[in-house]
A and B are shown apart, each in its own frame.
Chain A
Amino acid sequence: MENFSGQLINLFAALLLLIAFGMLSQRRVLSLINLFALQGLVLSVSTAVVAYTSHQNHLYYSAALTLVLKVLILPWILHRLIRKLNVKWDVETLINIPTTMLVGIALVVFAFNLAAPISLMAGTITKSSLGIAMASVLLSFLMMITRSKAVPQVIGFLAMENGLFFAATSATYGMPMVVELGIALDVLVGMFILGIFFFQIRETFDSLDLKHMEKLKEE
């Protein structure tokens, strides 16, 4: 049983990494949001499996929270946003996609290398997936850098939080409940604020392309 759920968790971790790469290569905003929701779902299920295996009951709450927030609410908000803003398409990346993927692979290697000594110390069942968690944090960050539009950047930001959450689960069976609740609330509030910013940016620059913000710098 232990072994089986260990394999299961590794599978979910692999899926998570795959989705992270998928997001990195995805050009369409709509699909990006769906991928984000899928990532949330994988995260939620894997957390539930960890909870079942390690008998850490508070992780069930975490899983439920993730499900509600990251699979339902946030994607719904994002969908509404892009419908209102009318930006379903995102064709522009700053670096072309194959190069991004290559950089991503280098990052994964780096992350695994980084996680190796920490995994040795961690006594959790999920210790082998720590490298994947860090890799997905870094990949999401990379996505934020390579996208020129505002909405994918925000999705990258949210995906980064997913990676962090997974890292916490795999290294120490999750953060204390209070912290997790706080982070969840922060993400939600951050989303609202960013949504408002989107409208403001579009109103000012007639576009959500962040390169227009270069004008703001002091000469």
Chain B
Amino acid sequence: MTIVTSLLPIDVTLGVITYWLLLAFAGLLLQNTRTITRVIFPAGAIGALVLAAAALSGLGGPVNVAMLPLGLPDLPFHLRMDSLSSFFMLLLGAASIGISLYSAGYFRDYAGNKLGLLCFEYHIFLAAMALVFLADDAYLFMVAWETMALSSYFLVTTNHSIPDTRRAGFIYLLIAHVGAIAILMCFGVMQGGHGDYTFATMRNAHLTEFWASVTFLLALFGFGAKAGIVPLHVWLPEAHPAAPSPISAMMSGIMLKTAIYGILRVTFDLIDVQLWWWGALALTLGLITALFGVIFAAVQTDMKRLLAYSSIENIGIILVGIGLTLTFHVFHKDGVAALALTATLYHALNHAFMKGLLFLGTGSVLHATGERELGKLGGLIHPMPKLALLVLVGALAIAGLPPLNGFVSEWLMLQAFLLSPGLPHSYLNMLVPIAAAALVLASALAGYVMVKFYGVIFLGQPREEKFEDAHDIGIWERLGLGWLALGSILLGIFPVFVILLIDPVTQMMVGHTLGHSAAQTGWLWLTPLEPGRASYSPLILFLIVVVGVIFTMLAVKKYYHGRLRHGPAWDCGFPEQTARMQDTAEGFGQPIRQIFEPFFGVTRIVPTPFDKHPHYRGESRDRIWDYAYLPIAWITEKLSALVGRLQHGRTHIYLLYSFLTLLALLAFIR
């Protein structure tokens, strides 16, 4: 018993990391599909459970520090586990339990050698993410960060025989590295010439306003590249469809949050001054990202691409929260800052569960039907009722419907906007209501997107006959999806407990907590600041909804004819109806495409009326790709062609180059 109590959370965490690394190598050595799916992935899930428990006990506990004599000589790895890292560790552990369990079922058809490699990369990826949260010096942070980027690159390119996958992987790797360079420079600025790269030194260093701003901008760029902030989002819609679904779930649900962690860590912990315009910038960028993401999600026809854009939207919302927190914190409105930060962290946690759930759901759909195009799916609720139910939870949650978790965090975020007292800055005062309106628009559109996602895949009639006997999910998938769905429900129904969990983090970051005011009227009612203004009780709402539904059903049964009638879905009284007459994904997204036409580069191929075999095609392009990335590629190509002209292949010319360099240098030192 003494051994158990004397174990610090950081020791347990290190133990889990080592355990994951061992599992990784075990998978690599075994290369046996049956063992890997039945033993190693569930074992990884147990590790994740232990990690989550350790993180839970680390939240609010004393700060743990450790030093590992690994790495370069005289440059040991510094580790530190405080409330912020514990919170994100909890996110990692809790969400990856579900994903690992699901993987145990999902990968059952993979060949042994391929799966061995995948299992290796998967567990390395997990361990690297945990190390990112644990790192307390720039050196270990970058090592873990790059390990994370590389392992996820190899996971994305699991099916590397497909050219599109290789292309997606390349874009991902490129943007990840551009971001990593910015992060490295950010750390370089923060150490302020001491040459000491531990975070402890950075905390104590004082930066001038200019250098602090440079640091913040570098951090925002570097971590933004990983998070997918517009215009650095281009890798998300490419990489997510390319990767196997559990990997997409992991990257979207958890890995994007490492970037959020990085921004929070640098901005609130490592830099000692904050400026108000940082908050305004983050707020604006976040809003653009959220709106951009959700609008593009609405017009997608590939279900995983749709979810990728939805991830961009959610990252935008989280960034809005960070911006709000920063602004309030700078103006010493710490109560509201704590509210905004709570909403931010809450949403990050929620997104890990709901997006994980949805991506895993698409994995099962893909597995059963082999189809990713929304235009070909449909009616899957009949052959796959269990999957449909679980995915419904995720879809409702991400659409922000009470009593699920997505509602709570978005509601808290809006409360932070609405309760924002007059800020001592007129532009900011104008920006805040606009931002609140834009956020509501994004949330509403997110609902629209989810109606499309769920409706087109699961409802209606199957668009292809072969889907009618698609097999439902197995036990492992059910366990994984069930865990995430359960998480989404619990996080939605007991928000007060979650806020109490987040409290130590807000205490550490902005010096104020929300817990005592949130719980002032008991755990049943969530009151962000004071009961007179706004409060919300998900459980009571849930019960009312349930009771209402039951009473309506009973009333309908009693006073209507009381018979249950089965008929074709969405029949609308047509005598003859086929699956092709249903609303399609393109059709459903069409209004959005019309309204936001200037955002897209739309190309349409419309058949003539006399065409015997008409084909309609509409494609929406991301304009940012054309305006921001292609010029860079073009300039790079031109410049490298110029440089290429230096290379003649003649030894004499090369000698001449060094000769001229020598002369120039000699003349210079003269």
Residues of A that sit less than 8 Å from B by CB: 94, 110, 113-114, 117, 138, 141-142, 144-148, 153, 210-211, 213-218
Q: Which residue of B lies closest to A217 (CB)?
A: B649
Q: How far is the CA of A141 from the CA of B659 in the complex (A)?
A: 7
Residues of B that sit less than 8 Å from A by CB: 647-652, 655-656, 659, 662-663, 666-667, 670
Are A148 and B648 neighbours in the complex by a CB distance under 8 Å? no
Least CB distance, B327 to chain A, in whole angstroms: 53
Note all chain B residues with C-beta closer than 8 A to A147.
652
Other 5 A-B pairs with CB < 8 A, given A141-B659, A141-B662, A144-B652: A110-B667, A145-B652, A210-B651, A216-B649, A217-B647
Are B656 and A214 neighbours in the complex by a CB distance under 8 Å? no
Least CB distance, A4 to chain B, in whole angstroms: 33
Q: How far is the CA of A117 from the CA of B670 in the complex (A)?
A: 8
Are A145 and B659 neighbours in the complex by a CB distance under 8 Å? yes
Are A213 and B655 neighbours in the complex by a CB distance under 8 Å? no
Chain A contact residues, majority secondary structure:
helix
Identify A114's interface contact among B649, B659, B666, CB under 8 A. B666
Note all chain A residues with C-beta closer than 8 A to B651.
153, 210, 213
Are A110 and B649 neighbours in the complex by a CB distance under 8 Å? no
Note all chain A residues with C-beta closer than 8 A to B667.
110, 114
Least CB distance, A133 to chain B, in whole angstroms: 13
Identify A144's interface contact among B648, B649, B655, B663, CB under 8 A. B655
Note all chain B residues with C-beta closer than 8 A to A218.
647
Are A145 and B655 neighbours in the complex by a CB distance under 8 Å? yes
Are B662 and A146 neighbours in the complex by a CB distance under 8 Å? no
Q: Which residue of A lies closest to B666 (CB)?
A: A114
Are A211 and B650 neighbours in the complex by a CB distance under 8 Å? yes
Least CB distance, A217 to chain B, in whole angstroms: 3
Identify B650's interface contact among A117, A138, A142, A210, CB under 8 A. A210
Note all chain A residues with C-beta closer than 8 A to B648.
214, 217
Note all chain A residues with C-beta closer than 8 A to B649.
213-217
Chain B contact residues, majority secondary structure:
helix
Q: How far is the CA of A32 from the CA of B648 in the complex (A)?
A: 28
Q: Which residue of B lies closest to A117 (CB)?
A: B670
Are A146 and B650 neighbours in the complex by a CB distance under 8 Å? no
Q: How far is the CA of A148 from the CA of B667 in the complex (A)?
A: 28
Are B652 and A142 neighbours in the complex by a CB distance under 8 Å? no
Least CB distance, A50 to chain B, in whole angstroms: 24
Q: Which residue of B lies closest to A211 (CB)?
A: B650
Note all chain B residues with C-beta closer than 8 A to A217.
647-649
Q: How far is the CA of A214 from the CA of B653 in the complex (A)?
A: 11
Q: How far is the CA of A216 from the CA of B648 in the complex (A)?
A: 10
Note all chain A residues with C-beta closer than 8 A to B670.
113-114, 117
The interface centre, meaning the residue of A145, A148, A213, A217 with most chain B CB atoms within 10 A of its CB, is A145
Q: How far is the CA of A94 from the CA of B647 in the complex (A)?
A: 18
Least CB distance, B426 to chain A, in whole angstroms: 59
Q: What are 25 A-B contacts with C-beta separation under 8 Å?
A: A94-B652, A110-B663, A110-B666, A113-B670, A114-B666, A114-B667, A117-B670, A138-B659, A138-B662, A138-B663, A142-B659, A145-B655, A145-B656, A145-B659, A148-B652, A153-B651, A210-B650, A210-B651, A211-B650, A214-B649, A214-B650, A215-B649, A217-B647, A217-B649, A218-B647
Least CB distance, B647 to chain A, in whole angstroms: 6
Q: How far is the CA of A148 from the CA of B656 in the complex (A)?
A: 13
Are A141 and B655 neighbours in the complex by a CB distance under 8 Å? yes
Q: Which residue of B lies closest to A116 (CB)?
A: B670
Least CB distance, A164 to chain B, in whole angstroms: 12
Q: Which residue of B lies closest to A118 (CB)?
A: B670
Q: How far is the CA of A146 from the CA of B667 in the complex (A)?
A: 22
Q: Which residue of B lies closest to A210 (CB)?
A: B651
Q: How far is the CA of A149 from the CA of B509 in the complex (A)?
A: 70
Note all chain A residues with C-beta closer than 8 A to B656.
145
Q: Which residue of A lies closest to B656 (CB)?
A: A145
Q: How far is the CA of A5 from the CA of B652 in the complex (A)?
A: 40
Q: Which residue of B lies closest to A214 (CB)?
A: B649
Least CB distance, A59 to chain B, in whole angstroms: 26
Q: Which residue of B lies closest to A111 (CB)?
A: B666
Are A210 and B652 neighbours in the complex by a CB distance under 8 Å? yes
Q: How far is the CA of A146 from the CA of B656 in the complex (A)?
A: 9
